[in-house]
Structure 1
């Protein structure tokens, strides 16, 4: 929820379990990264007033509407080929999200604006600001007339999409804007006055940034963007869905990369993670209960064939994710404790492995109603999701969302590509190149299809499952993902 410094105080919380935060950091550090070549940059038209002949000549004109702080820089390179060295990105923010060896495009000079909107929370420490609602806006000298906006995946900060999305779209001539969503980190739930407020703020912040970025583009290039596209992965994909349902007037379309599904009646994170936490230890331990535990895992949505991914996700994702999102939406479950007991045994008091969403009070569903999706998209949307995603299992997420879109009569605006062998983070392809397929090339194929759909009226292929290619050479999987059958 958007708040100014004069707003009422946030709801009181206690200090989270130190081990929880350490595990969140360890998860980011453990993930490694592997390679897909970005598509070649297209020819980019020169807008009236384009300053490519006078690099950054308009710098002094630019003002981000509503920003409390804005630091402007004229950069020789807007991609991470230059911003890592210049300090205009944070590699820790995008660690573990892309294949290692991903080619870095270069040759994109322009203007970068870093800043923040008024907010009362302070989890984002980038630039030493200790201020949330931070954003970055990048304006290339050679502009193709478009704007791409993104919210961060997970609970990361505003630079989290720089490698997976920002570099590629900047090299294609787009302006690019991204937000930290208004709160960050494993204790994001401390923000807000009531359950659900911290998550609801994510949507408000992307709407706010989109409007501000469109205004800045008009200042910079003397005309508004001809097209505005939203995209993002995981929680960033959820934001795309929500924006196209609630603010379609701001966008021409979007690409949702394995977006999170929130529904009051379920499924949602709080319905499928507790069974995994309860059953996985028995499965991993073997013995006579292992087969029954395996059946419980698959019944919860974790697909047979994904077992090789379960140990990593149990150690780094399932427990932490369940506890922090449950704390945001149902803080009373564990009484006065904040975010539960890490890796607690079923049957112990307040254990998240025993959490039963359907038996919880109506207030929990009221909190989710603040962020719930409906499927009522108002602009074209393309979703890509991996069949071996074991953080957001596809049967409990995008399969359901696709049905929602169809049920409300918006199927003509939707394309859904299930990617065989894809999982939640592409860095795991490094460890299992013989079993997984990176989603990054599929996201780029979907984005290109969205460009044709919204720009030239070319309908994308009908939604279907994209089979893992017969050739499993990494160089093939990393550079190609045709959307045709």
Structure 2
């Protein structure tokens, strides 16, 4: 049954407390206080479109194959310049992912389809559906022939990329589709029957959505997309890598924005987070052992010069990320305890600070094998990561994946850009504007470079470190990131 409007807040107008905790999830969750999630910036007005719905015509309402439920709305504005007011996005889903002053494009009328595929888990409460495998598909009236598909960062829901990705690609004329990956929230690891099931579902859900969205596009516009591009941030970047390795036939290329690396032998989250959890408290305490602890942090992959980011990441990211993803892949480590003991001291029984992935049973490694990357991409990929990423340290993530691609003989299909001064969460640029640069404009630059590559208009520059402009003003880094 199709409806002309949606409601993202459950009846009664209150969001469950656990969802409030997800406001700034990237891999896990971001905190409040000085680094609180940024509110959407004022829209860059184009034309006189208001946020109200238009009546859908029959031709605007293609069916989503395989969907158990869907509802369509014809909108005067598909970007967050209008969807915030009309209720067709959820600002809490993308809070904290972009700089607060990032411009918002507007002037994109079209059709939005919300719905879900059959699923048994119920963590996603959007629309009051209490049903996972939710998706959003946006079809602009003025289409450029392309389709962009995305999976969400962290354990967020389907609107998480709306400000960072959807707004921008819609303004360029692309159709856009995104999925919640099939499970959401801090207890995502409860989904599935065996270790690794929840993360494995992320991959199948993006494949499912891509196939469905390509059919929807063809029905809506009368021809299939001439170009299908996968892109995403963090866990969403991991999905791009996995899709181009396992289903290259569905895509023309992809842009991986600091994707999470999973390898059966390491490195990965479960190899570089425990050393940080052991060493950082000693470093922060000062006194005897602090210098050695700092050296241990550097040896674990956290680069010299990133120390100013460590306090925030310790309290907000490292501990929670380790516990949640270890529970997903190795629930037996701490016995009956679910997702570990927060901020436990090294030496405490079952403490994640002492986790040793290499010493765990083969069954744990088999669980990681199910989601592991190989580097065997089958279509052009542009990867970018910040040199000051201290959630996924670049020397243990992007650098390693680039090497994997080359060793797999797929180097000509990859361009890898190390963004000097970039970090994992763009909202941190608002707190440290003199030390960090936003990654969002670099994603835009990578995306346009991929467009030219796919169009045969020239290969992007060879992979390199993109320097942070020494003399940039406060606004140009929000819109510019020359790749060289």
TM > 0.5? yes
Q: Which has the higher contact order (CA 8 A, sep 6+)?
A: 1
Pair 1:33 & 2:38 matched: yes
Pair 1:406 & 2:414 matched: no
Give 1:15's aligned residue. Answer: none
Query: Retained in 2: the 8 A contact 1:34–1:427?
Result: no
Residues 21/382 of structure 1: CA separation in 2 closer, same or farther (3 Å cut): same
Distance 1:243 1:171 in 2: 25
Q: Shift of residue 23 of structure 1?
A: 6.1
Q: Shift of residue 410 of structure 1?
A: 0.4
> For structure 1, which segment, 470-479 or 384-393, has the greater mean C-alpha deviation from structure 2 after superposition?
470-479
Q: For residues 457-477 of structure 1, what are the alpha-carbon distances to aligned partners after superposition, in whole Å with 9 as ceiling and x for unaligned?
A: 410000000011121422122
Query: Retained in 2: the 8 A contact 1:375–1:404?
Result: yes
Give 2:385's aligned residue. Answer: 385
Query: Retained in 1: the 8 A contact 2:43–2:106?
Result: no
Query: Retained in 2: the 8 A contact 1:20–1:342?
Result: no
Give 1:246's aligned residue. Answer: 246
Distance 1:267 1:354 in 2: 16
Q: Shift of residue 60 of structure 1?
A: 6.2
Query: Retained in 2: the 8 A contact 1:326–1:339?
Result: yes
Q: For residues 5-37 of structure 1, what are the alpha-carbon distances to aligned partners after superposition, in whole Å with 9 as ceiling and x for unaligned?
A: xxxxxxxxxxxxx99988656854623339999
Give 1:339's aligned residue. Answer: 339
What TM-score results when the alignment is normalised by the length of structure 1? 0.91
Cα RMSD for the two superposed structures: 2.2
Pair 1:474 & 2:443 matched: no
Residues 184/124 of structure 1: CA separation in 2 closer, same or farther (3 Å cut): same
Residues 34/133 of structure 1: CA separation in 2 closer, same or farther (3 Å cut): closer
Query: Retained in 2: the 8 A contact 1:32–1:428?
Result: no
Residues 20/133 of structure 1: CA separation in 2 closer, same or farther (3 Å cut): closer
Q: Shift of residue 102 of structure 1?
A: 1.4
Give 2:51's aligned residue. Answer: none
Query: Retained in 1: the 8 A contact 2:18–2:185?
Result: no
Give 1:14's aligned residue. Answer: none
Distance 1:60 1:154 in 2: 32
Distance 1:309 1:234 in 2: 18
1:81 is paired with a residue whose SS is helix
Distance 1:479 1:256 in 2: 19
Q: For residues 132-179 of structure 1, what are the alpha-carbon distances to aligned partners after superposition, in whole Å with 9 as ceiling and x for unaligned?
A: 000000000000000000000000000000000000000000000000
Give 2:174's aligned residue. Answer: 174
Give 1:68's aligned residue. Answer: 68
2:292 is paired with a residue whose SS is helix
1:374 is paired with a residue whose SS is coil
Distance 1:60 1:241 in 2: 32
Give 1:464's aligned residue. Answer: 464
Q: For residues 183-239 of structure 1, what are the alpha-carbon distances to aligned partners after superposition, in whole Å with 9 as ceiling and x for unaligned?
A: 001100000000000000000000000000000001100100000000000000000
Give 1:232's aligned residue. Answer: 232
Q: Shift of residue 259 of structure 1?
A: 0.2
Q: For residues 47-78 of structure 1, what are the alpha-carbon distances to aligned partners after superposition, in whole Å with 9 as ceiling and x for unaligned?
A: xxxxxxx9853446511000000011111110
Give 1:3's aligned residue. Answer: none
Distance 2:126 2:39 in 1: 26
Give 1:133's aligned residue. Answer: 133
Q: Shift of residue 86 of structure 1?
A: 0.8
What TM-score results when the alignment is normalised by the length of structure 2? 0.91
Q: Shift of residue 456 of structure 1?
A: 2.5
Give 2:208's aligned residue. Answer: 208
Distance 1:118 1:55 in 2: 28
Residues 23/287 of structure 1: CA separation in 2 closer, same or farther (3 Å cut): farther
Give 2:257's aligned residue. Answer: 257
Q: For residues 273-303 of structure 1, what are the alpha-carbon distances to aligned partners after superposition, in whole Å with 9 as ceiling and x for unaligned?
A: 0000011000000001100110111110000
Structure 1, unpaired ranges of 5+: 1-17, 42-53
1:165 is paired with a residue whose SS is helix
